[in-house]
Homo-oligomer: A and B are copies of this chain.
Amino acid sequence: MSQAINLTIVGSIGIDTIETPTEKREEILGGSVSYACAAASFFTQSGMVGVVGTDFPQTFRDRWTKMNINLDGLQTQEGKTFRWSGVYEANMDNRTTLSTDLNVFEEFSPNLPETYRDAPYLFLGNIHPALQLHVLEQVHTPRFVLIDTMDLWINIAKEELTQVIGKCDMLTLNESEAQLFTGEHSLMQAAKALIKLGPDYVLIKKGGNGSMLYSRDDLFLLHAYPLDTFADPTGAGDSFAGGLMGALAASGKTDAEAIRQAMVYGSVVASFGVEEFSLDRLQRLDRDQIDQRLNQFRAICRI
């Protein structure tokens, strides 16, 4: 008998073609829910909600299954899987999207299996806010809901996004998205504006410069684990948030202290993820390696 779903994660599934200054990889497994479920898998039983086309390779499905990710919420639709391709600049800080073919993702309507609806933790990955809302309507009083978004929805669906954020416990977005959403350059000011939308926590991601957790009565700054080099930053934010939600779900808690600890786990898992393309590194990762790096990380950040 399979384990009960402790964490439901909704998001995109893509087949990516990625070019960095040193390497090009074609048709690799990507998408926010793929990275997030993989990162969560080290901590708890997650269930994946997403859509693929009939062209989706069985080998990709096997990668998830080997990580013990529940796929009952994975839909297969007639047509091609979502494709994305992008190229990173020399410094790896900026990337340019070369092509986006939504394919079956364009008509995606997330439907949660009954076993997913009672999961106490829910991560609404970056999809259209109307779809995020549709997921919220299907779940039964989750204890903690994290919502992610992106600049596209801030630009074209801000009203719906604002509405769904108000129903969540925690919002996460990138530094530039927080600034875009609020018009505030200062992250503290942006966080103060965003918390007024309703969530208890605002988590602003700063890439290689770490992240900031803001709530009405607590503030937490976290570094990114310092890497000498990395292969591909794609999915780092999704791995961070997925690892965070996995560790939080495993703790069974939802308070600020538990979120801090979960963020540290998420950051460590994300640091492994970027060492290789796709899920390549995460698939060879084990809990001992995570705990070992976590101890190093604590020593590096101790003041």
Contact of A229 among B90, B189, B223 (CB under 8 A): B189
Cα separation A186 to B212 with both chains bound (whole Å):
22
| Interface flags, A246-281, vs B, CB<8A=1, else 0 | 000000000000001100100000000000000000
Helix, strand, loop or mixed for chain A's interface? mixed
Contact of A210 among B219, B223, B298 (CB under 8 A): B223
CB distance from A76 to the nearest CB of B (A): 41
Contact of A264 among B226, B297, B303 (CB under 8 A): B303
The size of the chain A interface, using a CB distance under 8 A, is 31
Chain B residue numbers with a CB within 8 Å of A221 are: 223, 226, 300-301
Chain B residue numbers with a CB within 8 Å of A210 are: 209, 223
Smallest CB gap from A226: residue in B: B188
Q: Is A187 an interface residue (CB 8 A)?
A: yes
Q: Are B222 and A226 in contact (CB under 8 A)?
A: no
Q: Are B298 and A189 in contact (CB under 8 A)?
A: no
Chain B residue numbers with a CB within 8 Å of A185 are: 90-92
Q: Is A156 an interface residue (CB 8 A)?
A: no
Within 8 A of B (CB), among A58-84: none
Q: Is A286 an interface residue (CB 8 A)?
A: no
Q: Is A288 an interface residue (CB 8 A)?
A: no
Cα separation A227 to B212 with both chains bound (whole Å):
13
| Interface flags, A10-49, vs B, CB<8A=1, else 0 | 0000000000000000000000000000000000000000
Chain B residue numbers with a CB within 8 Å of A186 are: 227-229
Smallest CB gap from A230: residue in B: B186
Cα separation A154 to B50 with both chains bound (whole Å):
51
Smallest CB gap from A227: residue in B: B188
Q: Are B187 and A212 in contact (CB under 8 A)?
A: no
Chain B residue numbers with a CB within 8 Å of A212 are: 226
CB distance from A133 to the nearest CB of B (A): 32
Q: Which 3 pairs from chain A and chain B are nearest by CB? A: A209-B209, A221-B223, A188-B228
19 intermolecular pairs with C-beta atoms under 8 Å apart:
A90-B185, A91-B185, A186-B228, A186-B229, A187-B226, A188-B226, A188-B228, A192-B228, A210-B223, A219-B226, A219-B300, A220-B302, A221-B300, A221-B301, A223-B223, A260-B303, A264-B303, A298-B303, A301-B301
